[in-house]
Amino acid sequence: MFKIIVCIKQVPGTTHVNIDPVTGTLIRDGVAAKMNPYDLEALELGLTLAKDNEGTLTVLSMGPDGALSVIREAIYMGAQEGVLLSDRKFGGADVLATSYTLSEGIKAIGDHDLIITGKQTTDGDTAQVGSELAEHLGIPHLANVRSVKVHDGKLNCVYSLDQKTVTADIDLPCLICTDSGINTPRLPSYRRKLEYGDAKEQIRIFHFTDMEDQDESHYGLKGSATKVEKIFEPEKKAEKQMYTEGDLSEKTYEILKENKFI
Amino acid sequence: MYKKIDENDINYLRSFLPKERILTGDEISNDYAHDELGGIESLPEVLIYPLSTEEVSEIMRYAYEHDIPVVARGSGTDLVGAAVALHGGIMICTKMMDHILELDENNLTVTVEPGVLLMDLQAYVEEHDFLYPPDPGEKSATIGGNISTNAGGMRAVKYGVTRDYVRGLTVVLPDGRIEQFGSKCVKSSSGYDLKDLIIGSEGTLCIITEAILKIVPLPEQSVSMLLPFPSMEKAIEVVPELIRSKASLTAIEYMSLDTILSAEQFLGKKFPDTNFEAYILLTFDGNDLSQIEKEYTKVADLCLSMGAIDGYFVDTEERKKSVWSARGAFLEAINASTDEMDECDVVVPKSRISDFIKYTHEVSKEVGIRIPSFGHAGDGNLHIYICRDSRPEEEWKDKLNKAFDLLYARAREYGGQVSGEHGIGYAKKEYLKKQLGEDQIELMRNIKKVFDPKNLLNPDKVI
């Protein structure tokens, strides 16, 4: 049985979030939440792979109990089971502590052939958790993966490297981070919602005590090597310029170049 | 006879308009000769981009004095030739009059110039937690164009059409006089409602230069559900039951797999599900998510009991985009799937919608031509496209006319109307005449004469 784990995260449901002026952190209370859109693409790839290889798919998330809703959503989309890593000791984690906690969670889940993460999250935006998770687990990994096939115990991956597309075989078990825009994720099914309801039987919650490493200093705020000093909203520019004369394609090129878009 | 534009006319117009906003002859792009469907072509002699009501007034005053025909045009996204200068003359393009002038949170209105694009208006009011409910698929159309055709769109089931959201209009009459019809007031029992006469008049009575539009508080929650069915017959049989169920629905759209696949090809983007023959797309909105959940549960259970394969949740920005962007591109996608097409935008009473969709399939077989359709099942407005598919000219015209005659005759029989939201323009005049009869057309002609005795504004359109 080919076992796939897909890491997912609950993020704010809109781009209109407020920032606490004192702590400089995102105010998440009262803001609608959703599954990180990049993770939906990872999940879609995982579900397709699981179907093609007669495998199973487990989703893994870390967060407060509210994050159960994205695990349920993944089950309504087709995942067989979900695991939530939830403990106050996990709170305030940076990339290092998050990826370490996830690696401990994966050890607690047990055997697996493939781990898939999305490209990045829409709230943290670091795009580093996937790669660091693979390092903690000591398994090979590739980022910006656009498509994959399983053959002869290896994973054949097509991935982007700046302006090049590369094809590579990597040994299983391994971890891949998907590129953005690689598929259109399927939608959650009402029939599966009727069938699984709150999916209590399909979801397990792991706490700090379920982790193999019982050293608290490796988790959460204590296990974080970095600290966010301040988050602020970038200034919005709404000015418009109109050009009607001359070589407009040349002008467009100049403006894009001047603003470093190309 | 209309006067042909000469050097003197151009010199006069240039006396108060800068060079870059007045184009003549070869300077005018051929895009301005036709609309989006391109059924008829004719270039204006002069193309002007005014910036203000006063400029439009001065252009009209001059045109009136010199018997020059004038056509107003927004983005040119219409489908019935309404924005084509059949007799040459002056074309007034409103695309530089694109300012949102005021958001009045005390009166719940937004005042705009006619060249504001629907997508820009929607985004602007939503940023301020308001909703401008009319939601035609063509988001790059201008508000002036939307008002001129009384555009409807996908939220009409719950919210109504453009007419229901126009409070007041500043207009320029054919002789250049500036008038304001309507106001910010909610009510009016003050004489004939000239504002309502202008809405849907397709630029034949006056030129809209400013509009006061009603807005509503933005519903906090909006969830869509995509329901796949094994066949179009099964899908549309659900629609009358949905209406009878008293569920509070914002939109009820129907779409076939063929149309979805055309949209995938056109956009180069995959639709979230293409495993079934037909789909119904529903939207629920409101402020209370638990109430919305109750509504969609009731509706989804009803649909499953009537043969729906499943119900898929379309509940986040990304999911809405993946589904609704395809829905918004259906027209262009069908257009790209054939060498030429013509459209029928009939509206029938809601109780007849499934009968009419089935009838389009019969006509397709009887006439022997491809007739894809999609549309607003919840308000009875269908968008039906007759596709040429490389047929020789004579055969194409023959089949097109046969199909149109059959479809419009059946729509009349069902108590329907020639156009639900695209207008009459040049292309559907004959069918309007058949529908309304000579007496009503004569009343309309007389109204036109009162506004435009010289028949200068968008001549030969609508009536």
Answer whether A245 sits within 8 Å of B312, measured CB to CB: no
Partners of A60 in beta bridges: A7, A83
Secondary structure of residue A210 in the 3-state scheme: helix
Chain B 190-249, residues with CB within 8 Å of chain A CB atoms: 225-226
| pLDDT band for position A16 (cuts 50, 70, 90) | low
Residue B204 pLDDT more than 90? yes
* Helices then strands, each counted (H, E), chain A: 6, 11
- Give me the residue from B269, B270, B273 closest to A187, CB to CB: B273
CB A189 within 8 A of CB B312: yes
Q: Dump pLDDT digits (tens) for B21-33.
A: 999 999 999 999 9
Give tens-digit pLDDT for B49-107. 999 999 999 999 999 999 999 999 999 999 999 999 999 999 999 999 999 999 999 99
Q: Is the dihedral of CA B112, B117, B122, B125 positive or negative?
A: negative
Tokens 């493939």 sit at which residue? A114
For residue A173, whether the previous peptide bond is cis, meaning omega lies within 30 degrees of 0, is: yes
Residues A180-227 have pLDDT tens digits of 999 999 999 999 999 999 999 999 999 999 999 999 999 999 999 998
Q: Is B128 on the interface with A (CB under 8 A)?
A: no
- Asked if residue A1 has pLDDT above 90, the reply is no
Q: Do B272 and A186 touch (CB under 8 A)?
A: yes
pLDDT confidence band for B42 (50 / 70 / 90): very high
User: Residues with Cβ < 8 Å from B402, sequence gap 6 or more?
Assistant: B367
The CA distance from A48 to A61, in Å, is 20
**Could you tell me the pLDDT band of residue A97, with boundaries at 50, 70 and 90?**
very high
Q: Which CATH superfamily is domain A2-233 in?
A: HUPs (3.40.50.620)
Residue A177 in this model has a pLDDT that exceeds 80:
yes
ipTM of the complex: 0.85
Residues of A in contact with B261 (CB under 8 A): none
67-106 in chain B: CB under 8 A from chain A: none
Mean pLDDT of chain B: 95
**Using the beta-carbon criterion (under 8 Å), do B318 and A40 form an inter-chain contact?**
yes
CA distances from B361 to B267, B399, B406 (A): 26, 15, 12
Per-residue model confidence (pLDDT) at position A95: 93
Residues of A with CB under 8 A from a CB of B: 13-14, 34-35, 37, 40, 76, 183-191, 244-245
Cβ separation B272–A34 shorter than 8 A = no
Give the global pTM.
Answer: 0.87
Contact check, Cβ <8 Å, B310/A190: yes
Nearest CB partner across the interface for A184, out of B269, B304, B313: B269
Question: Over 90: is that where the pLDDT of A69 sits?
Answer: yes
State residue A25's pLDDT score: 65
Closest CA to A226 of A56, A94, A71, A80: A94
Q: What percent of chain B has pLDDT over 90?
A: 92
**Which of 38-57 (B) contact A at CB < 8 A?**
none
Tens of pLDDT along A214-261?
A: 999 999 999 999 988 777 777 777 777 788 778 889 889 988 888 888
**pLDDT classification of B359: cutoffs 50, 70, 90:** very high
**pLDDT, position A26:** 66
Q: Above pLDDT 90, what percent of chain A?
A: 73
Q: Is the pLDDT of residue A23 over 80?
A: no
Alpha-carbon distance A72 to nearest alpha carbon in chain B (angstroms) = 13
Mutation choice for B interface testing from A187, A233, A236, A241 by most B CBs within 10 A: A187
Output the six-digit token pair for B25.
Answer: 């002859």
Please report, for chain A, the start and end positions of each structural domain, with discontinuous segments joined by +: 2-233
A194: closest CA of chain B, how far (Å) = 10
Question: What is the model's pLDDT at position B22?
Answer: 97
Residue A189 CA to residue B319 CA, distance in Å, equals 13
Which residues in chain B are closer than 8 Å to A35, comparing Cβ atoms?
316
In DSSP terms, B24 is beta-bridged to B46
Among B22, B312, B317, most A C-beta atoms within 10 A, so best to mutate, is: B312
Helix (H), strand (E), coil (C) string for B220-242: CEEEEEEEEECCHHHHHHHHHHH
Residue-wise pLDDT tens digits, B184-197: 999 999 999 999 99
> Chain A within 8 Å of B438 (Cβ-Cβ)?
no
Q: Which residue of B has its CA nearest to A192?
A: B310
Q: Which of A145, A184, A116, A130 is nearest to A156 (CA)?
A: A145
What is the predicted pLDDT for the residue at A236?
Answer: 75
What is the pLDDT, as a whole number, of residue A153?
A: 85
For B458, the 3-state DSSP assignment is: coil
Residue A17: band (very low, low, confident or very high) from pLDDT cuts 50, 70, 90: low
pLDDT at residue number A24: 64
Stretch (H or E) spanning A253: helix A248-258
The pLDDT of residue A262: 82
Å between A108 CA and nearest CA of chain B: 32
**Angle of the B7-16 helix axis to the B53-65 helix axis, nearest 10:** 160
The sign of the torsion formed by the CA atoms of A72, A74, A79, A84 equals: negative
